[in-house]
Amino acid sequence: MTRDERLSATVRGELPGMPLVVAVSGGVDSMVLLHLLRFGCGLDPARLRVAHFDHAMRPCSPSDADWVRGVCRAWCVACHTAAAPAPPTSEDEARRLRYRFLQRVRQEVGAGWIATAHHMDDQAETVLFRALRGTGVDGLAAMPSRSSNHVWRPLLGHHQRELTEYAASVGLRWREDPTNRGIGARSVMRHVLLPEAARVVANDPVEALAGLARRAALDEGAWTSLYSRLLEDTDARWDDAGVSLSRDALLAAHAGVRTRLIRYVAKELGHPLTASGTAAAVQFTTGAASGRALDLTAGLRVRRDFERIGFRVGGVDRTNAPLRIEHSQGRGFVVVGGRRYHVRWGHGPGAMNGEACFAQDVAFPLEVRGWQPGDRIRLPVGSKKLKELFREARVPAPDRHRTPVVVDGTGSLLWVPGVAQSVDSVAMSGAVGLHMGIARADID
């Protein structure tokens, strides 16, 4: 198999559902990814959406957007562009702005995934950068091929030189970004540290660091598979505000297990801990007297009450404004846990993210509301409490009360967008059903 065939096979073999948003800067890497999707995999261009974000960090950056739009017209691919209102002051800020735009496009077009052109060299730089900053094993896992924020990175297993060679072989053109040759952290990794490491330490430090990321990811996966059992062993008791654990069981665990479990609980509650925050939490569980509490982050507090250690989330917005649906077509808004959603329903598919199709004889009136204690949904494996379903789907506790649900006129739960749909409400294959789309009305 030739290099070009290997690249095409990699992308084709991991291809998620359509439509797909492709992040395209105009550089060689993203142009190769777009070419592979459009021509190497033979995808219908109508199912691709290019997204280009201008960081406004260079005087000529608007011409990059014009160039990308021109390529998209020639390749018959829709293109979405936006620009930063002011130049970002750091790489982190630029990344946040870029991904906020990409997620907005994904929501608007109803795509499941955002494809980015990160490759093995990017992975190696990330691992090295995080190691030098003292990251843990989870940080060494670096970038997964598929992230929980719907980002797909099909080229992580390929060196950048393979992409450049592919571009030359098919006659691709691209835009050069002079900031890649600057003095930022990434540039230092790319142009100084990794070449020096290749000279004095390893023949291929990129492959070595990428291998380290794969092994760290495997280790993280092993830990993830154990957390449910560890929570059972510590008698975890969940409620709407957080979770409490048996202090005796927690202290009986190995120090490394205790640390891991505390970090996991905090992340599940939507408040990941720094190294110092984790150390403070571990020390608190070991020595704090009953009735004492400690703020770990601005929104997360740990408290000891006799032999229980509780982790509680504060400042939760409980504002709710349900939406009642009396007829088979329309649109409106619902507020769930202080978060506003746009709802559209009717006979025939729409373009909103998270669309579901219900059986034609669904019982009106429908209601879109927040979940309530005791809510259950019928799945192929049987009836399940929504609280358990949220936990299995890894929905962070702070997001659960902000997740809308749809119930029918009998009170039966039909759909939890992004989580599950009741087996009783699914339209038969080929039948005309009631389509409903729900999307954030105030996407960050």
Using DSSP's 3-state secondary structure scheme, residue 191 falls into helix
Give the residues across from 294 on adjacent strands: 302
Adjacency order of strands within the sheet including 366-370: 323-325, 366-370, 404-407, 413-416, 420-421
Q: How confident is the model at residue 429 (pLDDT cuts 50, 70, 90)?
A: very low
Q: Which two structure tokens, joined as six digits, stand for 366?
A: 């429908």
Q: How confident is the model at residue 58 (pLDDT cuts 50, 70, 90)?
A: confident
Q: pLDDT value at position 367?
A: 92
pLDDT tens by residue, 74-103: 999 999 999 998 888 888 888 999 999 999
Share of the chain above pLDDT 70, in %: 93
Q: Which two structure tokens, joined as six digits, stand for 151?
A: 């980002």
- Nearest 5°: the CA angle 297, 395, 11 is 110
> Which H/E stretch holds residue 229?
helix 205-233
Which has more confidence, 397 or 338? 338
**Mean of the per-residue pLDDT values of the chain:** 87
- Nearest 5°: the CA angle 57, 102, 40 is 100
What radius of gyration, in Å, describes the C-alpha atoms of the chain? 24
Q: pLDDT value at position 351?
A: 45
For the ranges 106-120, 183-197, 373-387, 423-437, the lowest mean pLDDT is seen at: 423-437
Q: pLDDT value at position 440?
A: 79
Q: pLDDT value at position 443?
A: 44
Integer Cα distance of 241 and 324 in angstroms: 27
Q: pLDDT value at position 315?
A: 63
Integer Cα distance of 150 and 357 in angstroms: 22
The number of residues in the chain equals 444
Q: pLDDT value at position 34?
A: 96
CA 284 to chain centre: 31
pLDDT of residue 432 exceeding 80: no
pLDDT of residue 428 exceeding 70: no
Q: pLDDT value at position 444?
A: 39
pLDDT of residue 425 exceeding 60: yes
Contacts for 416 with CB less than 8 Å, ≥ 6 apart: 371, 377, 386, 389, 403, 404, 405, 406
pLDDT of residue 229 exceeding 90: yes
Please tell me the pTM assigned to this model.
Answer: 0.70
Instruction: Identify each DSSP E strand in 111-241 by its residue range.
Output: 113-115, 151-152, 237-239
CA distances from 51 to 82, 157, 307 (A): 8, 23, 52
pLDDT of residue 243 exceeding 70: yes
pLDDT of residue 275 exceeding 80: yes
| Residue closest to 118 by CA, chosen among 242, 11, 255, 274 | 11
Which has more confidence, 389 or 122? 122
Q: Which two structure tokens, joined as six digits, stand for 118?
A: 């990160």
Q: Which two structure tokens, joined as six digits, stand for 17?
A: 């559902």
Using DSSP's 3-state secondary structure scheme, residue 310 falls into strand
141 phi and psi angles, rounded to 5 deg = -65, -20
Token pair 């050069």 is found at 176
Share of the chain above pLDDT 90, in %: 50
Sign of CA dihedral 293, 297, 298, 300: negative
Token pair 């997360």 is found at 300
Q: pLDDT value at position 316?
A: 60
CA distances from 290 to 169, 265, 297, 304 (A): 69, 20, 20, 5
pLDDT of residue 394 exceeding 90: no
Q: Which domains does the chain have, with CATH numbers?
A: 3-211 (3.40.50.620), 234-313 (3.30.465.60), 323-440 (no CATH)
Q: Which two structure tokens, joined as six digits, stand for 242?
A: 């957080």
Q: pLDDT value at position 427?
A: 64
Which has more confidence, 435 or 73? 73
From the CB of residue 134, how many other CB atoms can be counted at a distance below 10 Å? Answer: 8
